[in-house]
A = this chain, B = another copy of it.
Amino acid sequence: MNSNYKFVVIGAGNLGTRMSIALDSVGHKALQNINRSEEKGKMLAEKLGAAFYHEVNIHKDADIVFIATNDDSIPGIISEISTFDGLIVHVSGSTPISVFESYVRNYGVFYPLQSFTADVEVDFKNIPLLIEASDPVNLAILNQTANSISENVFVMDSDTRLKCHLAAVIAANFSNHFIALGEAMLKEANLPKDIIHPLIDEMFLKIRKYGAYKAQTGPARRNDIVILEKHKEALKNKPGLQNLYTFVSDSIINSYRKPNSKDG
C-alpha cells in the first residue's frame, strides 16, 4: 500500500505552513496551496514545489484537502469545494466534525494540539494529533497520515477534542498570561523579567514530576491570609489586577479545600 498522499492545503497561516512542511518532509506531495493573500501562499507553494491558487479550485488528483483557515471560514469553504470527491479535513480543535455533514461524503478532522508561530520551526514528532473521520476507511487514511509525522496520535470524537482544546487553552494560554502579568509588574518595578525564570523552571520540573495539582505552592495554597492581604494591599491602585488576584487565589484555596472538586 502506498502511504504517500497528494495533498492540498487551504490557508497559509502558521499552522497551514508548518503542517505543509511536515507532510512534505516525510514524502507526501503538496499539489497546491490555496490562499487569499498571495504573498504567503506563493512563498509556501514555491518552497513545496506546489502550485499557488488564489481561488478555491481543488486539483482533481488530490487525495486529501486540509482546511487550515480560521474557524469562521470553514463552513463557507466546505460549501465551495463540495463537488470535490476526495477526503476533506479541517484542523480546528473547537469545530465539530458535524460541520461537514450533508455537504460532503468523505471528511474528517486532523487537529494538532500545539500553537504555531510563523518563524519557529517545530518538530511534529512530539505534537499530539487528534483525528476523527466520517467512516473507518477515511479514519485509516488519516491515521496513516498522522502517524507518518507524529508519534502521538489520538482518535478522538468532537466533544472530547473540544474539552482537550479547552484544557490546553486554560493550561497554556492562561499560564502564559499570568507570566506576562508578572513580567509587567517586574518591568514597572525596574526589575529584569528573567529574575522569575529560575522559579518558573523549578515549577516545570515539579509539574513533570508530580503533576501540577501536587506541585502547587504559594500563599493561596497555604491559605496564608497575612500574605494574601499584603498582596491585595500592594495592588490597591490596580483594581483590575487586584480582582484577578483575589479571584485566582480563591480558586486555588477552593481547589484544596474540596480535594475531590477542582471546579473553579
Which of these binds chain B: A28-36, A40-48, A196-204? A196-204
Which of these binds chain B: A60-68, A140-148, A162-170? A162-170
A173 touches B218 (CB 8 A): yes
Q: Which residue of B lies closest to A179 (CB)?
A: B212
Neighbouring B residues of A220 by C-beta, 8 Å: 169, 173, 177
Neighbouring B residues of A189 by C-beta, 8 Å: 160, 163-164, 167
The reply to whether the CB of A56 lies closer than 8 angstroms to some CB of chain B is: no
Neighbouring B residues of A177 by C-beta, 8 Å: 212, 216, 220, 248, 251-252, 255
B152 touches A167 (CB 8 A): no
User: Cα distance A218–B165 when bound, in Å?
Assistant: 10
User: Cα distance A264–B162 when bound, in Å?
Assistant: 27
B94 touches A169 (CB 8 A): no
User: How many chain A residues have a CB neighbour from B under 8 Å?
Assistant: 93
| 8 Å CB contact of A231 from B94, B195, B240 | B94
Interface string of A80-122 (1 = CB under 8 A from B): 0000000000000010000000000000000001110100101
Q: Chain A residues in contact with chain B, CB under 8 A?
A: 70-72, 94, 113-115, 117, 120, 122, 126-128, 152, 154, 160, 162-186, 188-189, 191, 193, 195-200, 202-209, 211-213, 215-221, 224, 226-227, 230-231, 234-235, 238-245, 247-248, 251-252, 254-255, 262-264
